[in-house]
Amino acid sequence: MLYVVKFAVSLKKKTMKNLPLIDLYSDYLLTNFRLSTATGMSEMLDNSYSHDQISRFLAQPTLDQKDYWKSVKPLVRKIEQANGVICIDDFIVPKPHSTMNDMITYHFDHTQGHNVKGFNIISFLYSSPNTIGESIQLPIAYEIVTKPIKFIDEKTKKQKRKSIITKNELMRERLKFLTLRNKVKYRYVTWDTWFSSAENFELVEKKLNKYFVAAIKANRKVALSWEEKLQGKFYRIDELEIQTGSRIEVWIKGLSFPVYLTKQIFKNKDGSTGVLYLVSNDKELTYEEQITIYQIRWKVEEFHKSAKQNASLGKSPTKYEVTQSNHIFCSMIAVCKLELLKIKHRKNHFAIKAQLYIKAVKAAFEELQSLKSIDKIPISQTQQTMPLLA
């Protein structure tokens, strides 16, 4: 458990706004199986910290990305490699019954095709291959999407909210910071079609000098040569004859450099056939390598699921933005701890959480037997056959 211990120490020594409760609260989020409350944590700790102390901890000045980087930086420096991959995606934590504010509001969920009330978080998951015998996925940054601007929709005449900057702009700023200021070592960045804009591709190629492997929509238009691009001859991607297993050079409309397009055909769970188009600016990649790098992106989906189900990300009843933000901060720290435990014990996040749950159930069962044995009254042999009545 060496890495876990060092991680906890780094929290206490290097996070400027930190209290010792960050370590305890993130542990509480991992061991809790219901709503995460100050009262619940105080009871778990036998009131060694009062309800008010925990509430004040959550209400402290917002723990921001500077604090988060200081917390995870020692780990990042241990696991980062020149061929690392940063997987970028956003996800929504539903909060249908919570009071609306700048953070908890309606966000469009492109996986479901409609608006969902809750938190919208952009995550930056670092995947480091062959670390300590197997790959490790660490959330090295995240951005909470806020919508502070209120306006009246002209069609519905209802009040709505919007962000000051778009999710793509927010993503670009954080990726630039991770690369140019935090000096994170990596070779590839990968994302789904939502982030596959020309501006994002230009950032990675021109300003960051990195490579991308990204999904792209079938209706995007490309030219098959520089000459066709100059002549304005563009074709929809799904109209091209692309052989599976091959890569072709294309020029995306609005992009100043060529990319390499691949087509992957796969089977969905329902038996239907799916088609995935991928582009990369790395000329040296083979078809198999391009597919393999993009498959790493699916790790971010596992991270989102684990954060929600194993780290109590959406289980805080806090009402104010500062307390909600600090709760999210600690949930991200909790996921980092789970990832380290995964490496140490060679169990996935859900297996570790299940192990904790079984231990909790056994402890509850033993406590019940203890309660039943108090002031036990002798009963007849006939009554012993009816344990519930006994």
> Would residue 362 count as lying in a domain?
no
Contacts of 33 (CB under 8 A, 6+ apart): 357, 360
Domain membership of residue 275 (yes or no) is yes
Give the pLDDT band of residue 138 (cuts 50, 70, 90): very high
- Give 235's strand partners: 222
Task: Tell me the C-alpha distance between 118 and 124, whole Å.
Answer: 19
Closest CA to 222 of 185, 181, 263, 188: 263
358 is written with which tokens?
């079984």
Reduced to 3 states (helix: H, G, I; strand: E, B; else coil), residue 136 is strand
Residues 131/83, Cβ–Cβ less than 8 Å: no
**CA distances to 79, 308, 320, 333 from 55, in Å:** 34, 22, 11, 18
Q: Do residues 63 and 329 make contact, with C-beta atoms less than 8 angstroms apart?
A: yes
Output the CA angle 206-138-177, nearest 5 degrees: 35
State the Cα–Cα distance between residues 212 and 259, nearest whole angstrom. 10
Residue 9: per-residue pLDDT: 42
Q: Are 93 and 325 in contact (CB under 8 A)?
A: no
What CA–CA distances, in Å, run from 115 to 106, 208, 331? Answer: 6, 33, 24
What was the pLDDT predicted at 377?
54
DSSP state of 336: H
Q: What is the rounded average pLDDT of the residues 228-243?
A: 93
Asked if residue 10 belongs to a domain, the reply is: no
Asked, for residue 293, whether it belongs to a domain, the answer is: no
Signed CA dihedral, 316, 321, 323, 324: sign only:
positive
Indicate if the pLDDT at residue 385 is higher than 80.
Answer: no
pLDDT of 233 over the 70 cut:
yes
Amino acid, res. 50: S
Residue 233 lies in a domain: yes
Residue 229 contacts residue 300 (beta carbons within 8 Å): no
Q: Which domain covers residue 271, as residue numbers?
A: 209-283
Answer yes or no: is pLDDT of 130 > 90.
no
Identity of residue 175? L
- Is 314 contained in some domain? no
CA 80 from centroid of its chain's CA atoms? 18
Contact indicator for 98, 70 with CB cutoff of 8 Å? no
pLDDT in tens, 255-296: 999 999 999 988 777 777 889 999 999 999 999 999 999 999
Stretch among 40-44, 134-138, 323-327, 364-368 having the lowest mean pLDDT:
134-138
What does the block give as tokens for 314? 């959406």
Greater model confidence, 42 or 19: 42
Dihedral angle at the C-alpha atoms of 202, 206, 211, 215, nearest 10 degrees?
0
Distance CA 216, CA 214 (A): 6
Query: What backbone torsions phi and psi does residue 98 show, to the nearest 5 degrees?
Result: -85, 155
Q: Is 91 helix (H, G, I), strand (E, B) or coil?
A: strand
Q: How many CB atoms lie within 10 A of CB 144?
A: 19
Percent of the chain with pLDDT over 90: 75
CB 138 within 8 A of CB 76: yes
Q: Is the pLDDT of residue 157 over 60?
A: yes
Task: Assess whether pLDDT exceeds 50 at residue 338.
Answer: yes
Distance of CA 353 to CAs 6, 103, 129, 306, Å? 21, 28, 24, 10
Rounded Cα gap, residues 152 and 375, in angstroms: 67
pTM: 0.89
> Is residue 225 in some structural domain?
yes
Q: Is residue 213 part of a domain?
A: yes
Residue 196: Cβ within 10 Å count:
20
Return the pLDDT at 100.
92
How far is it, in rounded angstroms, from Cα 247 to Cα 260? 6
**Segment 129-151 mean pLDDT:** 84
Average pLDDT, the chain: 89
pLDDT at 103 over 90: yes
- Count up the domains in the chain and report the number: 1
**Residue 213: closest CA among 248, 177, 262:** 262
The amino acid at 39: T
Task: Locate all alpha helices (DSSP H) within the chain, ordered by sequence.
Answer: 2-14, 21-31, 38-44, 51-58, 65-79, 167-176, 198-202, 226-231, 287-295, 298-310, 321-345, 349-373
137 near 339, Cβ under 8 Å? yes
Task: For residues 54-74, give the mean pLDDT.
Answer: 92
Estimate to the nearest angstrom the gap between the alpha carbon of 282 and the chain centroid. Answer: 26
